[in-house]
Amino acid sequence: MLTKRIIPCLDVRAGKVTKGVKFKGNVDIGDPVEFARLYYEEGCDELVFYDITASNERRDIMIEVVRAVAEAVFIPFSVGGGLRTLEDMRRVLLAGAEKVSVDSGAVRNPAIISEGARAFGSQCIVLSMQAQRVAPSARIPSGWEIFIDGARTPTGLDAVEWARRGEGLGAGELCVNSIDQDGARSGYDLPLTRTISEAVAIPVIASGGGGSAQHIYDVCTQGKADAAIVASIIHRRDTTIPELKRDLAARGLPVRMNW
């Protein structure tokens, strides 16, 4: 089994890390560069930043954050949120991000995936998706529908079909977020993650619901995920990256332990 990655996710609003539950009620909890440095020193494998700044004019703050993070941490990190054009992607990559992540922008304009892959390489294009359980129907046969705009707007897209389409367009990785599990810390959505993982050949990052090492172990084994996003459990210091990794290694999951 290839090494499973543990990826802290930081939601950033106007230059501050925030944490919300089920996409509502975000509160600022600190400086993204400080968080990044701490998790880097603790040995996380990668970092994810989502810019959830509402207004466009304040997006330059995020570029400054990316630049400062790139000077502080020496591991891959991806940046998403509000990226709509190749130029948006280029700015983030030039500021020092290794990957860009597209979500609502890709639903509205799927060509951004293929254009990004062609311009910067598939390995740096992550397709992030918000999936919610719905009654299976002719339109949504898998029973998971894609939502956009902070999980507020249904799209009528089937999550499995969208995942396959994203892969076909050249996404190098999928980040699958379960709206049902988001912020609940009761475990990742195993059937969702497994269904998507089995439908594509590119790596799948599980997101939403991670509350313990057991949850990460489950989603990387039963859920067939290649990586797991962690957020509130480490932001609140309920546990730490080294603690999680020691626990996972003791369970026999291959993780990078060495420092």
Partner 1 sequence: MPESAPQVAVIDYGMGNLFSVRNACRRVGLDATVTSDPAVAAASGALILPGVGAFGDGMQALRDLGMTRVILDAAESGKPILGICLGAQLLMTESEEFGRFKGLGLLRGPVRRFQGPQEEGRPLKIPHVCWSPIRHPDAMQAAPWRGTLLDSVAEGEYMYFVHSYVLMPEDRAMVLSFSRYGQVEFCSSLRAGSIYACQFHPERSGPPGLTVYANLRRLLLERGRNER
Residues that bind partner 1 (CB under 8 A): 1-3, 5, 40, 43, 45, 70-71, 74-76, 93-96, 98, 121-123, 172-173, 201-203, 256, 258-259
Give strand pairing partners of 106: none
CB of 251 to partner 1, least distance (A): 19
- Which C-beta is closer to partner 1: that of 1 or that of 138? 1
Give the tokens for residue 248.
């996972």
**Residue 221: which residues within 8 A CB-CB, separation 6 or more?**
253
CB of 189 to partner 1, least distance (A): 23
- Give start and end residues of each alpha helix (H) in 73-110: 86-94, 104-108
- Give start and end residues of each alpha helix (H) in 132-212: 159-169, 190-199
- Which C-beta is closer to partner 1: that of 148 or that of 206? 206
- Which C-beta is closer to partner 1: that of 33 or that of 157? 33
**Pseudo-torsion of CA 222, 150, 134, 173, nearest 10°?**
-40
CB count, 10 Å around CB of 57?
Answer: 7
CB of 75 to partner 1, least distance (A): 5
CB of 37 to partner 1, least distance (A): 12
- Which C-beta is closer to partner 1: that of 98 or that of 180? 98
CB of 125 to partner 1, least distance (A): 12
CB 183 within 8 A of CB 151: no
CB 65 within 8 A of CB 33: yes
The terminus-to-terminus CA distance of the chain in angstroms comes to 21
CB of 71 to partner 1, least distance (A): 5
- Which C-beta is closer to partner 1: that of 150 or that of 203? 203
- Which C-beta is closer to partner 1: that of 111 or that of 257? 257
CB of 44 to partner 1, least distance (A): 9
Give the tokens for residue 53.
């700044």
Give the tokens for residue 28.
């600022």
CB neighbour burial string for 28-44, b if at least 16 within 10 angstroms, e if fewer: eeeebbebbebbbebbb
- Which C-beta is closer to partner 1: that of 18 or that of 78? 78
